[in-house]
Each structure stands twice: as C-alpha cells, then as structure tokens.
Chains A and B, each alone.
Chain A
Amino acid sequence: MAVILNTKGLRKSFGAVTAAAGISIAVEEDSVVGLIGTNGAGKTTFVNMVTGYLKPDAGDIIFKDRDITELHPRDITRLGICRSFQIPQLYDSLSVFENLVIALGIRDRNVHGSVFSRTFKLVPAANPLVVAAAEQSMQRFGLLEYRERAARLLPEGVRKLLDIAMALISEPEVLILDEPTSGVSADEKFAIMDMVMDAVRSHGCTVMFVEHDMDIVTRYAPRVVAFYEGRILADGKAADVLSDEQVQSYVIGGLRALQTGASDISHA
C-alpha cells in the first residue's frame, strides 16, 4: 500500500531532556497504527511535531510527497491531517451544537472558496446543510442528548467524544488520536473506540492513536509502535511488538503500573 505519512529522523529536545531522538515512521494509507509508551516516552511530542504544534530540531515530515515540516497546525489541518487531544480542546463556554457548527463553519470556509466569498453569505447556524451535518455528527457520537449543554459541563468521556467528533468534521485523510480513552471509565472505553472506528471507516481514513490501554491497542491496532525515551523500541504487527520482551519490560510493565492512575494523567 502507498505511504501517506512518512517521518524521517525527527529530533526534539527541551533543554537537557530529549523527547525525540530520531523518530522515523512510515504510515500506509487506510492503516491503523497504535503508539504506545510510558509517559515522557515521546508519543505526544511526536504527535505535536507531526501536526505542527512543535517544530522538530531535525528531520522531515512528508505527507503525500509533500514536506510539511515547517507548516503551521492550520495549514497541516487544511492539507488533511487532523488530531484529537489528550486534554480535550473544546470551546468550553459554547454548547456541543455550537462547537460543531463552528468547526463546520471553518471547514466550509477552507473547503469551498475564500474567506470573503463565503463568510458573508454563510451563516452556519442558519444553514440547513450545516445543521444537518452537525446533527449527523452528534448522532454518530451519541452527543444528541448533550446538544445544548455547555462543553465545560460535559462528563470527561463525552468531552473526549466531542473532541474527536470535531477532529473528524474536517474529513481528514489522516486522523491522529492522542489517548482517546484516557480518563474514561473502563466500561465506556470500548464503546468510545467503536464509535470512533465506525466514523473513521464510514469515510475511510488513516488512523494513528496514542494509547496506554493494552486491551484497546490489541483490539484496534493491527500495527503498533512502541516508544521509549524518545526512541522507537519496536515497530510491527501488534502481536510481535507486544510480545517483544524489551517492550514487555520497559513499556508494558511501566504501563500496567500506571493503568489505575491513567485517569489522573489526562487531568495533569
């Protein structure tokens, strides 16, 4: 299959701390990749570099044969890489519906025509197409019951879903999920991942997700990349990687210890 996203020797250090020491991953189109590793292993740093929030000290990021290393998050988003966040990034004072409508408003401006040709015509909240799209999205992620509730008042699990729903609004070609189930109760986590995966399949896109929860990883990620201290410890079929004893000792061991506290991490 064709490689859609390819990172070559990404390096990033914060002062003395090396968060990424040459990360190279090639992601095929329509594949699903799980990124695992203890906290500080460099997963989120990697995601932040790919999505332009951090500029790598060295290395390249190639998206569909195009170098996006130096681009801003908004340009990368416009090219078709969208992400969700470990700490959901929502418009807290606005309702679920409004959050989605704003997302759609921006999407429509980027997808069709210039700012000015659109904005002065388009009043998202009044535009039936937009409303329909928003409701479909709420439908898909079971958000309808929270429609008019302000985002800051939502339960953590729902915030995660809304965060992901907003990422999917822009119909990305690559979707990156940063700990989609952290801070979510054990009985909810599979439900959430199922919803996400359905949504993804429905319009077909490549998925990379950072995850601490091995059950989730084994169940949803055919391919797994294990991070350790800014390096890639192992990369390959889920089964192989998870059975690798280095991974077992350095990564999974560490994670098991964390499992219980996972929910706190997301609040940190």
Chain B
Amino acid sequence: MNEFLAVLMDGLIYSSWLFVIALGLTLIYGVMKILNMAHGSFYALGAYAAASMVGYWLNHGHAPMASYGILVLAAVLVGLIAGPLIERGLLRFMYGRDEMVLLLVTYALFLILEDVIKLIWGVDPYFIPEPYSLLGTMDIASLTYPYYSFILIGVAVLAGGAVALVLQYTRQGKLLLAVIHDREVSLAMGINVSRFYLVTFTVGTALAAIGGALTAPTVSVVPGMGVEVIVLAFAVVVIGGLGSLEGAALGALIVGLVRSAAVHYLPQVELFCIYSVMALVLIFRPKGLFAAAEVRKI
C-alpha cells in the first residue's frame, strides 16, 4: 500500500515537472505548427539563468525566501529575451515553409544554443540547493518529501489552468483558438496573426524556462541538461495529441506514473518504458489521445 502511494506521489511530481515543459511545446505547436527542437535549450537557459541569479542573491546574503520569486523572475526574463529575439529574428522568416524545415531550423537553433550556453556559463556545474530544502520536508507513506516538490505540482496546475482559462474566457484567447483552428481564415478575418505568434512563442519559451528554473535547485546545472528533456517532452505531447492542452496534461500523467511504477516494481525497464507507452498509444490512437479527427471535403 505504502509503495503504491509512493508510486503515485513520485509519478505526480515527475508528471508536473514534465507538464510544465510539455505545455510550452504543445502550445507552440498548436499555434505555430512548429515542433520546437530548441525547447530543451530554453529549459537549460532557464535553469542557468535561475542558478546564477539565485546564486548571486544568496551569496550577497539576502533573504533566502525571496529566491523562489527570483527563480520565476529568471525564467520570465529568459522568455522575454530569448523568445522575441528568436521569433522576430529568425522564425518569422520561415513561416509557410514545410513543417519539417521548421523542425530543422529549430534543430540548428538547438545546436547553436548548446554552445552559446557553454560560452556564457562555461562547463562547470552550478548549484543552488537552498530553495529545495528551505521549506523543510513532510512524510508521506513513511517516505520523506520536501515541500518544494509540492510547489512544482502547484505550478503545473497553475500554469495549465491559466492557459486553459485564457483560451476559454478571454477575447484574445478565443482569437488565438481561431488562429489555431485556421490560420488563413483568421488572417482574412483581420486577426493580427503575427502578434499571436510572437506572444505564443514567448510564452512557450517562458514555460520551458520555468521548468528549467524550478528544476535548477534540485540538480547540478550542467551543459547538455536540455537534451534528454526534448524527447521526453515530445513523447508527452505526442501521446496526448499534438497541440492539445488536456492531451499534454494526460500525457504527462501517463508518462510520469508509468515511469515511477517501472522504477518501483521493474527498474530494468525504466530506460524504454516511456517509448513503449508512446508506441502503444500511437498504435491504438494513431493521432494521440486528444487528436481532433479531421474529415477532408472532396
């Protein structure tokens, strides 16, 4: 029983972590039809920015509690700087090109960013362990969990909820849905599509960065930390159905729970359980769980 509870807890924490990252990915794909290979690099950027800003803050003996705010601040900054820079400076010249070409552009971007990060922060690891243990721990199922893990869950729920609400209830959100549904028609209707692209990409970037920033206190921030994340996020988004919000949520949950179950009951298969799930889902739901079936008029 305890073990089962542990599986749930670990799964939930891992899922929230995944969801925050996957959310940005699915958003960008849904709106811009770009499967962003550089998403992992934004995750890494977020982690590095957070690590150095919080590091600076703590080294100067400021209140550690504020470091949580700084984590998020760092991520938002990354989003606000990197997002527009890349969308305006590069991607917008690529719109209308084939999806695969855009995929490659982002792949090139990923290569470049890997080294840019190295040039800015070097190869030595960065640590900011304080925020992780600062809030203390609680015991669940005779296991100790830091409260920080629950912050992660909270952030995931918040982020998901916020995006959902914006899409459902604000005018801008409805317009965005229109853009998602049909770019041409939206253009014809006089919607400022390019602005939506800019905003979406910035938000997506910021979300990836937040994922990274919130992970920073729990890991050693090192080069290449974004690489593994990309394919994980892809898996989540594909399982859920590309561009689908609830899909990303469910995908993250499935991946998270399956992985933690594997770790607890069958550690040998951890390496490929995620891909097996992805394959299985695609076999039975060729377009993912939340795919909108489109009928072609002839």
Residues of A within 8 A of B (CB): 48, 53, 85-87, 89, 268
Q: Nearest CB to that of A14 among chain B residues? A: B295
The answer for the CA separation of A86 and B298 in the assembled complex, in Å, is 6
> In the complex, which residues of chain A have a beta carbon less than 8 angstroms from the beta carbon of B297?
87, 268
Q: Which 3 pairs, one residue from A and one from B, show the smallest C-beta to C-beta distance?
A: A85-B298, A89-B298, A87-B298
Residues of B within 8 A of A (CB): 297-298
The answer for the CA separation of A162 and B223 in the assembled complex, in Å, is 57
**A17: min CB distance to chain B, Å:** 13
The answer for the CA separation of A199 and B298 in the assembled complex, in Å, is 23
Q: List 8 A-B contacts (CB under 8 A).
A: A48-B298, A53-B298, A85-B298, A86-B298, A87-B297, A87-B298, A89-B298, A268-B297
**B148: min CB distance to chain A, Å:** 49
* Majority secondary structure, B binding face: loop
> In the complex, which residues of chain A have a beta carbon less than 8 angstroms from the beta carbon of B298?
48, 53, 85-87, 89
Q: How many A-B residue pairs have CB under 8 A?
A: 8
**A251: min CB distance to chain B, Å:** 22
The answer for the CA separation of A89 and B297 in the assembled complex, in Å, is 10
The answer for the CA separation of A91 and B150 in the assembled complex, in Å, is 54
**B184: min CB distance to chain A, Å:** 12
The answer for the CA separation of A132 and B53 in the assembled complex, in Å, is 74
Q: Nearest CB to that of B295 among chain A residues? A: A14
> In the complex, which residues of chain B have a beta carbon less than 8 angstroms from the beta carbon of A86?
298
The answer for the CA separation of A268 and B297 in the assembled complex, in Å, is 9
Q: Nearest CB to that of A178 among chain B residues? A: B298
**B268: min CB distance to chain A, Å:** 44
> In the complex, which residues of chain B have a beta carbon less than 8 angstroms from the beta carbon of A89?
298
The answer for the CA separation of A53 and B297 in the assembled complex, in Å, is 11
**B188: min CB distance to chain A, Å:** 12
The answer for the CA separation of A8 and B298 in the assembled complex, in Å, is 24
The answer for the CA separation of A87 and B298 in the assembled complex, in Å, is 6
The answer for the CA separation of A53 and B298 in the assembled complex, in Å, is 10
Task: List 6 additional contacts besides A86-B298, A268-B297; criterion CB under 8 Å.
Answer: A48-B298, A53-B298, A85-B298, A87-B297, A87-B298, A89-B298
The answer for the CA separation of A203 and B298 in the assembled complex, in Å, is 27
**B177: min CB distance to chain A, Å:** 21
> In the complex, which residues of chain B have a beta carbon less than 8 angstroms from the beta carbon of A85?
298
The answer for the CA separation of A73 and B208 in the assembled complex, in Å, is 46
**B240: min CB distance to chain A, Å:** 25
The answer for the CA separation of A99 and B298 in the assembled complex, in Å, is 18
> In the complex, which residues of chain B have a beta carbon less than 8 angstroms from the beta carbon of A53?
298
> In the complex, which residues of chain B have a beta carbon less than 8 angstroms from the beta carbon of A48?
298
Q: Nearest CB to that of A86 among chain B residues? A: B298
> In the complex, which residues of chain B have a beta carbon less than 8 angstroms from the beta carbon of A87?
297-298
